[in-house]
Structure 1
Amino acid sequence: MRKKTVHIISHSHWDREWYMPFEKHRLKLIDLIDDCLELFEHSEGFKSFHLDGQCIVLDDYLEIKPEMKDLITKNIKEGKFHIGPWYILQDEFLTSGESNVRNLLVGIEEAKEYGGLARIGYFPDAFGNAGQMPQLLKQAGMEAVVFGRGVKPVGFNNLVEKTGDYESLYSEMQWNSPDGSGLLGVLFANWYNNGAEIPAEEEEAKVFWDNRLEDVIRYASTEHLLFMNGCDHQPVQKDLERAIATANRLYPDYEFVHSDFEHYVQCIKEVQDNNLSVVTGELTSQMTDGWTTLVNTTSSRNYIKQLNRENEVLLQNLSEPLAVFAAQSGKAYPHAVLKYAWKTLMQNHPHDSICGCSLDEVHREMEGRYYKSMQVAEELIKESMRHVGSDINTIALEGQEAYPFMVFNTTGWSRNSVISVILDIERKYDQSLNEAYDDMKALKIKQFVLVDNNGIEIPCRMEDAGVRFGYDLPEDKFRQPYMARSVKVSFEACKVPAMGYKVYTLVSKKTPVIQRETLVIPNGMENEYLKVTLNEDGTIDLLEKSSGKSYGHICYYEDTGDIGNEYIYRQPNGDKAIVSKDYSCTVELIEDEPYRAGYKVTQIINIPEAATETLQEEIQSMADVKIRRAQRNSRIMPLEITTYLSLEKHGRGVKVRTEFDNRMKDHRLRVIIPTGIEADYHFADSVFEIVERPNKHYQGWTNPSGCEHQQCFAGIKDEKAGVLAANNGLYEYEILPEQNNAIALTLLRAVGELGDWGVFLTPDAQVQRKCSASFEIIPFNVTDIESDPAAEAYQFQVPMLTCQISVQEGSLPLQYSYLEWEGKGIYLTGLKRKNGGEDTIIRWFNGTGRDSHLMFRASKKFKYYKSNIVEEHLEELTGEEEIIKLKVRPYEIVTIGMEEI
């Protein structure tokens, strides 16, 4: 009989910041790494240490001790420290698909620079696992994926013949993405601390191993047993060599070895008989009672999530594409600066950081990181736009009083959107600023009209923007301050090409066209697609014209108590929701232009000030969230909610902005969108996936809340019509089957404690500040093949940008697309330069369960090749008549490289 092998892997799960702020955790990290180095030198039996699958720990260590880099590198090359493949251990659902890819790119690059890469996808404590992770990791060359949550282990001796979709007989399984690609998956069925603090003395060791061995054997599919020697911020076990020797003496039928993941996975693969369960798609602990999914971290400190999405959009949707455009006009691509901005952003992506479930001090530091990264992105965007703008040929305007500007569209689709731009009519440089200000103030603004690139007049609103101070920073001389007289122009930019720009011009004209069109109707707004009616209770009725489907009394607010913590929402027993439609409102028409109509709706609802004092006692005594008895107190305060509703002339949805000043505690505020659609399933945007989920959880789910993760949108449809709600940084939603299958978006969750293993008060998590949220309600006709509501939703998160340009000669036309493509159900997610290289990298994913075809127009300037998420050159692509066609499998992530000839 072959001995069972006990693989003991030393590690420390390193939350960079959590119940202590970063710098305090870092001091412990320095001790940990120093101790490991000491053991590597003096303990022959201490063979390796797993650095938690992330490279940032080395950045953090070497920033304090740069003199240790050579020794660190030596131990990595010798296989003692195991690092990567990630830069940080992120939350998968609260970071975009492109952020997850950048995380791998940076992690793999830095691991290789140190001389070693652990080819193991590692998620020890992620709060659920995104369904496309096996596909991402397989494309990145990983051998297996190891994770701690999401699947329910059954155990072979429970005599279960067939497991469910999210159950596994063993701790080892096959985890597949929806496209069918998959990896060996290893679940920490006994958690990632089952081998922590192994006793070296025989009596204690006997008790330890007698208890632990059977627990692991219960779930193991082979004779190889996994024991994780460590836990959160666990110091390295210095007497481990002696503890292993003790175990080998006590249990002669077992072989105890100090192991690592690569060796363990290799052993599993060599003896595996392919009798593993197969789990497919996202793993979010679906087969549980619902109390420990930690999904409500998606709404803790929503302001953090909103900053994150803004930061991601600035980098992945704006900075990178615009830098590619500028590079094609000769500007150097800013590889190093973009990497710095991405790394700064990703330092906010660990699950205890982005999830909003740490100390207040942690999240205050996060805001600073976001602003640093966004400052870099904003400057890169400005520089790229100026460079492209300086290459556009506008010489035909010479001799006219004309002020041209560009509108950039960096989404994957031709686009219509209302925008505003500030244009300088005149600047004064060569005099004192005080005198320049007087001159500019005295300047009379002439009559102007707006024309597009074909000279066609465009309806617009022009306002005097007054005098403003500005400055230029030339590359070859000192700063140049000026005073400018400016105007603000608002209009609807139409058919701006995908991944491209369009030039508009303000030109003087004595008799501007009087615009008489209006979208305003009695009590509402209307365009060719939608009719919006405002109701006396503050809700709206929405008619989608092509399907004839109406949605009545949608967009009201619901407030409930929350006696939970940063991890878990918990409504008090017997608490009834307070809804805004029970209160009166005031309605004001605030915009009536040919291109857009807008209303302001103001409501005041009365809600309790906070929870009763019982809650504080329950927090201090560590009472379990499920058994808390606190209620909302009787002190009532007014909450004023202002809703701004707008409909654009060519808009397919109603855009909504909600503003309120939260002065209350211990509550949750959501917007409710009843759909009236009869369906058992809905869909939501996730990481490179539009995932289908059931409206109701499985029968063992006892948590009254059924919240889910989303990225950009969630929606529901039947065979004729549907509606989705797009958002900006609102990651939590819930489908309410008992309320006409309403979509509920969480706008605020205010709580006062961290939760988890100790008493950590977090007054900032009550979010007592001015809050705002933006979303768009997009109804659609399922049979309308011309519209794609998901594409509309993706565009909602990405602003169109403007840049004033000069009257000049140039090589670029007045309208241009850098990438012409098409593909039904295919969505573009990224356009960038190859890491450290000159090739352009483009990425799409198939959001459907059927084959589709991607077609894009080739240029004779480039050779095209199929790549992967780590940007390798895999397969040459050729086409006919300058069109390259590519079949895309269901749910496949496709990356294309463009090499300049």
Structure 2
Amino acid sequence: MKPRKTYHFISHTHWDREWYLTFEQFRYRLAHLIDNLLDLLDRESDFKYFHLDGQTIVLEDYYALRPERRERLEQYIRSGRILVGPWYQQNDLFLTSGESTVRNLMEGIRTSRALGGEMKVGYLPDHFGLAGQMPQLFRQAGIDNCIFGRGLDIESHESPFVKWRSPDGSEVAGMLLYYWYNSAQRLPNDEAILRLVFEGLREREEKINPSGHYAMMNGVDHLEAQYDLPEVLEKLRKMYGEEAEFVHDTLPNYAAAVKAYMESLPPEQVEVVHGELRECFEYSILAGTLSSRVYLKQANLRCHDLLEKWVEPLSAWTELLDLDEYDAGAIDYLWRAYMECHPHDSICGCSQDAVHDHMMDRFRRVEELSGEVLDRKLNILSSAVSAEGCDAADHLLFVMNTSQLASGGTIRTNVDFLAEDEVSTFAIEDPDGREVPYRIVSAERLRRQVLSPINLPGVIDVHRYVVEWKPCVPALGYAAYRLRPNATGRVVIDRPLPARPTLENERLLVEVRPDGTFDVTEKSTGAVLRGQGRFQDAGDRGDLYVFGQVPGESALVWSGPVEYMRRTKNELYEECVYRFDWALPVSLSPDLESRSAGRVVCSFEVTLRLDRDASEISMRIDVCNRAKDHRIRVLFPTNGTSEVVLAGGQFDVAERAWNEGAGWKRDANSQPFWKWFATSANGIGTAVFAKGLHEYEMIDVGTVASVTLLRCVETIHLREPIPMQEDRQPKGQCLGSWTFELAVRPFVPGEVAPATLYREAERFHQGLMTKQRPIAESRWKRGRPWVQDGMNGGVFPDRDPNAGKPRLARRGSFMRLEGDALLSAVKRAADGRDVVVRMYNVGRRETDVTIGFPVPTTGMSECNFLEEPYEGAKATETATIGAKKIVTFRVAKR
């Protein structure tokens, strides 16, 4: 006798916090949804379960409007009738960092466990493609399955159930929601209609699913619970008797049943799929969101660098050195505010203009608070550096580097002197007493506000010099340079320019053509990359989700002459600035079938810079966009067909065929990258680093790499000649002025490892931070003690909590990391006891790593990313990280 087929009815809502309505509009509707759900659970014992979309942020949203009903809601969560977690929110996986996905799970699981436990399902219902390392992350969280809605083309696979394997070999049971998360969205109560509807559902389910277990997803975006579902299920039971089982059930129960079915099969009958999942047609993957509203992506990357790469490490290091507390509450707040921008309809840029306006406000708040935290940490660290050998009139220029590579580029720094000192010359000396060359960009007199926690704000007059110079700072460390006023410094003077615009250092020769494109010669091999940096424009009749090709159109390419604005050559760098005006079609024609005949001028200004000793050419692009319904890309031709593209990813370097995804009909075969990607052909490679840009496409049979700068459209949904009023979002057209920062890094394949390119891209993104510290600090603290300041002639002195403690050397590292692994996090453990260090190995071989700090520690002990020690883990000085592995260590101070 065959086992009965089981229909698992899963009551749920998919809750986008913001999308076609704003967050506050949706939050009010969420409050009523949960109110009605609680009433339903009170009165209907047969309504057993409801899923709050696998996320916990909705609880915070509800508590804000219904604080008096918190305990009532939490009772149902504790009893298991309302399921929450494991996520904090449903973030996009390609437009956020791997570390932010970890924090998302950490926060969701922490909240869930306080209420009885998280749903043990790797629930990814509506993500626009799945990152390849997700099985490894789920396994570290104790989750052995993943239920997902996009990324696997069911027509290309024999079953919707697969083993999904990460690059490191971690596996979860993958279960595609082949009819999405609304497969049984609402069922009628009328018996005749119910039978008709269910027969249709049954036929299609049994045709595609061989397991005998069917996920009947009863719900969809923002819908409330079907209050009469128990009655409907009872009618189905009477209709079908012993023929089938109808269960009001949970996703964990369904996952367990399917997993048991998969394990009952011979291993060869269960397909294994590897790495990232980005299959299907374009309106399934929605790859155009990689470049919609690029300003959101740029703001997100700025906050990423501030929070992950600066605030947390500096906070951990200052606490480890006993210089300052960790600021755990502020950092937790920053993470939650930052993650509020990460849901897929938020960071993807496919929502109302008002939604994204609110996001930009959140990003600004993260930047503002991060800036305050960093200013405090830099003040504390710079004040802890020894001033031995300095005169009272001197200053220290404290320079901080949180990347894994020693600094190497030219930076721009403000240098202030009190106006009353009339400083007209100055010298900069490195920690070894050697003079450092610098170039004066500008000088001006200004008034600067002075803030103090114990005196009212004051004002000082300063003479400010803006200088360019090249500090040398160790990896994960700092250097304090002596600034000597009224000394004769080594001032850089610009040199005579060559007859034609070229940039050159010991590694590279860059020859700029009359049309603004440039040829790059890699001197060690003589290989030449020709025609780099050409601009392309194409009409876009798509929407905020996908690029839409204009029928019959060929992309426009700039090939006219450019105007050279400035050229600079000195011992620090060589630079070339050019501009051009491009008359582009105003918009699409009214029927959306072509571009308009009218033209509007869009202006471009490009700055190419090659630093001394640099391996890459930096490229700043300023665009004033006045056109609508189009896409602007910059092109980087290769030396032939690039068969494989390496792309920076989440805890990995993805390897893709040049035409990855070409089997599905897409107007643009766009692919994601995180901070960098690289191509190579005929012995020469090109890596492109880009700040806040995430979309590349290989075109012309894999011989040209394109990076999307702007994609300008204005509708949320598929564009129609007569638009829906609520669908038009004019700010999606990205009119106005925009700045993009990229770098082009030639390399020799086989000589430069992917991990090296990743570290260089990180350094390009993170940059350096500086803090000027006067030795005679009291002269710079001219606040007022009272409003009636005539009653006191001076100011009240501040207390230095670190006075009397050992001073730091003038150069050093706060952390030593040896081994070929990339750093993802340095933070304090959530329980407040240890430093947590997370690393990952993007290589195909294991690597040994050693972590060291400037204070004694007990060594590193491996744990999962939830910071729970593995059973039997022992503290060691050196650890081995397997190929493609993500590892987390706890380090305790002795």
Same fold (TM over 0.5): yes
Residue in 2 that maps onto 1:623: none
Residue in 2 that maps onto 1:142: 143
Residue in 1 that maps onto 2:656: 693
Residue in 2 that maps onto 1:309: 301
Corresponding residue to 2:878 among 870, 885, 896: 885
Corresponding residue to 1:456 among 427, 431, 434: 434
Do residues 820 (structure 1) and 816 (structure 2) align? yes
Residue in 1 that maps onto 2:825: 830
Does the 8 A contact of 1:551 with 1:676 survive in 2? Answer: yes
Residue in 1 that maps onto 2:786: none
Do residues 529 (structure 1) and 518 (structure 2) align? no
Residue in 1 that maps onto 2:395: 403
Distance 2:885 2:603 in 1: 46
Deviation at 1:20, TM superposition (A): 1.1
* Residue identity in the other structure for 2:664: W
Distance 1:526 1:663 in 2: 35
Q: SS in structure 2 opposite 1:685? A: strand
Task: Map 1:356-435; keep pairs closer than 5 Å.
Answer: 356-399=349-392, 401-426=393-418
Task: Sort the Cα spacing of 1:271 and 1:638 in 2 relative to 1 into closer, same or farther, 3 A.
Answer: closer
Q: SS in structure 2 opposite 1:395? A: coil
* Residue identity in the other structure for 1:603: F
Distance 1:208 1:553 in 2: 60
Distance 2:386 2:840 in 1: 35
Does the 8 A contact of 2:639 with 2:681 survive in 1? Answer: no
Residue in 2 that maps onto 1:773: 740
Distance 2:141 2:129 in 1: 20
Does the 8 A contact of 1:864 with 1:878 survive in 2? Answer: yes
Task: Sort the Cα spacing of 1:464 and 1:764 in 2 relative to 1 into closer, same or farther, 3 A.
Answer: closer
Do residues 872 (structure 1) and 868 (structure 2) align? yes
Distance 1:814 1:508 in 2: 19
Distance 1:596 1:564 in 2: 42
Do residues 264 (structure 1) and 254 (structure 2) align? yes
Higher mean C-alpha displacement, 462-471 vs 302-311? 462-471
Deviation at 1:587, TM superposition (A): 1.5
Task: Map 1:426-825; keep pairs closer than 5 Å.
Answer: 426=418, 440=419, 443-462=421-440, 465-494=443-472, 496-508=473-485, 510-513=487-490, 515=492, 521=498, 522-580=500-558, 582-615=559-592, 630-697=593-660, 700-718=663-681, 720-738=683-701, 741-755=703-717, 759=724, 760-784=727-751, 788-807=756-775, 810-824=806-820
* Residue identity in the other structure for 1:747: L
Residue in 2 that maps onto 1:124: 125
Deviation at 1:290, TM superposition (A): 4.3
Corresponding residue to 1:349 among 332, 342, 345: 342
Task: Sort the Cα spacing of 1:682 and 1:748 in 2 relative to 1 into closer, same or farther, 3 A.
Answer: same
Identity between Structure 1 and Structure 2 (%)? 30
Higher mean C-alpha displacement, 73-82 vs 114-123? 114-123
* Residue identity in the other structure for 2:194: A
Does the 8 A contact of 1:519 with 1:596 survive in 2? Answer: no
Q: SS in structure 1 opposite 2:766? A: coil
The aligned length equals 850
- Name the Cα RMSD after superposition: 2.1
TM-score after normalising by structure 1 = 0.91
Distance 1:520 1:227 in 2: 71
Deviation at 1:677, TM superposition (A): 3.7
Deviation at 1:698, TM superposition (A): 5.6
Task: Sort the Cα spacing of 1:800 and 1:559 in 2 relative to 1 into closer, same or farther, 3 A.
Answer: same
Corresponding residue to 2:216 among 207, 219, 227: 227
Residue in 2 that maps onto 1:278: 272
Do residues 191 (structure 1) and 184 (structure 2) align? no
Q: SS in structure 2 opposite 1:137? A: helix
TM-score after normalising by structure 2 = 0.92
Return 5+ residue gaps in structure 2 as ranges. Answer: 777-803
Does the 8 A contact of 2:291 with 2:710 survive in 1? Answer: yes
1:601-649 Cα distance to aligned partner (Å, 9 max, x none): 111122111111112xxxxxxxxxxxxxx10011112221100111111
Higher mean C-alpha displacement, 513-522 vs 845-854? 513-522
Does the 8 A contact of 1:445 with 1:464 survive in 2? Answer: no
Task: Sort the Cα spacing of 1:216 and 1:350 in 2 relative to 1 into closer, same or farther, 3 A.
Answer: same
Deviation at 1:188, TM superposition (A): 0.3
* Residue identity in the other structure for 1:868: N
* Residue identity in the other structure for 1:607: L
Deviation at 1:829, TM superposition (A): 2.0
Deviation at 1:443, TM superposition (A): 4.9
* Residue identity in the other structure for 2:275: G
Deviation at 1:463, TM superposition (A): 5.2
Q: SS in structure 1 opposite 2:182? A: coil
* Residue identity in the other structure for 1:594: E
Residue in 2 that maps onto 1:620: none
Distance 2:152 2:657 in 1: 17
Deviation at 1:467, TM superposition (A): 3.3
Distance 2:192 2:673 in 1: 51
Residue in 2 that maps onto 1:251: 240
Q: SS in structure 1 opposite 2:317? A: helix
Does the 8 A contact of 1:404 with 1:805 survive in 2? Answer: yes
1:322-366 Cα distance to aligned partner (Å, 9 max, x none): 111221233111111111111111111111111111111111111
Distance 2:150 2:861 in 1: 37
* Residue identity in the other structure for 1:694: A
Deviation at 1:142, TM superposition (A): 1.7
* Residue identity in the other structure for 1:683: L
Deviation at 1:289, TM superposition (A): 4.4
Task: Sort the Cα spacing of 1:542 and 1:717 in 2 relative to 1 into closer, same or farther, 3 A.
Answer: same
Return 5+ residue gaps in structure 1 as ranges. Answer: 155-166, 427-439, 616-629
* Residue identity in the other structure for 1:191: W
Deviation at 1:801, TM superposition (A): 0.3
Task: Sort the Cα spacing of 1:11 and 1:520 in 2 relative to 1 into closer, same or farther, 3 A.
Answer: farther
Distance 2:486 2:22 in 1: 60
Residue in 2 that maps onto 1:332: 325
Residue in 1 that maps onto 2:207: 218
Q: SS in structure 1 opposite 2:471? A: strand
Does the 8 A contact of 1:216 with 1:226 survive in 2? Answer: no
Do residues 845 (structure 1) and 840 (structure 2) align? yes
Residue in 1 that maps onto 2:167: 178
